[in-house]
Amino acid sequence: MPKMKTKKSAAKRFRVRAGGSIKRGQAFKRHILTKKTTKTKRQLRGSTAVHSTNVDSVKSMMPYA
């Protein structure tokens, strides 16, 4: 049987933490930042976990993670 391929776009966007949860970067922080308030941009810093409804689809894209 051939090995399953990892979706490289998903591998670049997600990391699996030691506990098994999946880490992702915040959205809406790339461009058009002038019209966003300082408070909004500050709250978008850092990373967050993938929502529980999307965990299965993300794990299927990264079979060996």
Query: Which pLDDT belongs to residue 3?
Result: 94
Positions in the chain whose pLDDT score sits under 50: none
Report d(CA 29, CA 42) in Å as an integer.
10
pLDDT at 21: 95
Among 11, 41, 13, CA closest to 28: 41
Radius of gyration of the chain (CA): 15
Enter the pTM of the model. 0.84
Token digits of residue 11: 């591998």
Tokens 């959205």 belong to which residue? 27
